Amino acid sequence: MEQVKFKDLGLIDYQTAWDYQTELHKQVVDRKLENRQRKKDGQPTLSLLHHLLFCEHPPVYTLGKSGSLDHLLLKEEELSDGGFTFYKINRGGDITYHGPGQIVGYPILDLDGFFNDVHKYVRYLEEAVIRTLADFGIEAGREEGYTGVWLPEMDTQPKRKICAIGVHLSRWVTMHGFAFNVNTQLQHFENIIPCGIQEEDKAVTSMAKELGRPMDLSLVKEKLRQHFAQLFGFGFE
């Protein structure tokens, strides 16, 4: 069974977390390359390295490499006046918001230890969130043609996205991950076209909005952590 180092970084600046991710990603790739050389030399290989980071960020908008800057609806001075930062980053996907009350997850996994399938990896990220929501009585699933986790249309409510996903892989080692709206300030999504989705029958939501009460973030994190371990079949160091 693969072992994963888990760390909750708490509230952390986006750039600081990105730099930390990059450092860990390099360590995982370096271990992979070292093992390849060890195999050639007939030496025993070392265990693979894996990390799972949870955190929250101060209010920030991030734009993926396939996104459009037109989906940011604020000017530069409006960003700073509103207390927001903005980054263009190397994950897939379009623009999204991160802020307090949101669980941002950064799995840095060497998929050689699990499976070499990007589509399956994204489905597993979604499934961990879907199962966590079910623990709290929220029915969620997927929306054809889109990534992320969605709540079904009901009554006067449109389909609602509760978790965005954007990943980057290099040498089958993952970076970036997901943003799960728990107690997130949803009005901050009004400053962007979230994930570039402009359809009127789609919106953004959070657990707090759906259940009508603020959630215990630590409890949601623990449920989510458990589902990750069960799905991928790993243990925590």
pLDDT tens for 126-185 read 999 999 999 999 999 999 988 999 999 988 889 999 999 999 999 999 999 999 999 999
pLDDT tens for 27-54 read 999 999 999 999 999 999 999 999 999 9
Based on the residue annotation, tell me whether 195 is a catalytic residue of this protein.
yes
Cα gap 11→8, rounded to integer Å: 9
Report helix angle 217-232 to 118-135, nearest 10: 140
Please give the torsion angle defined by the CA atoms of residues 191, 134, 227 and 117, in that order, rounded to the nearest 10 degrees: -70
Sign of CA dihedral 196, 73, 175, 179: negative
What is the longest distance spanned by two Cα atoms in the chain? 65
Cα gap 49→222, rounded to integer Å: 22
Indicate whether 197 pLDDT > 70.
no
Selected catalytic residue, list 130, 151, 195, 224: 195
pLDDT tens for 78-112 read 888 888 899 888 887 788 899 999 999 999 999 99
pTM above 0.75, yes or no: yes
CATH superfamily of 3-236: Bira Bifunctional Protein; Domain 2 (3.30.930.10)
Domain ranges of the chain: 3-236
φ/ψ of residue 230, rounded to 5: -70, -45
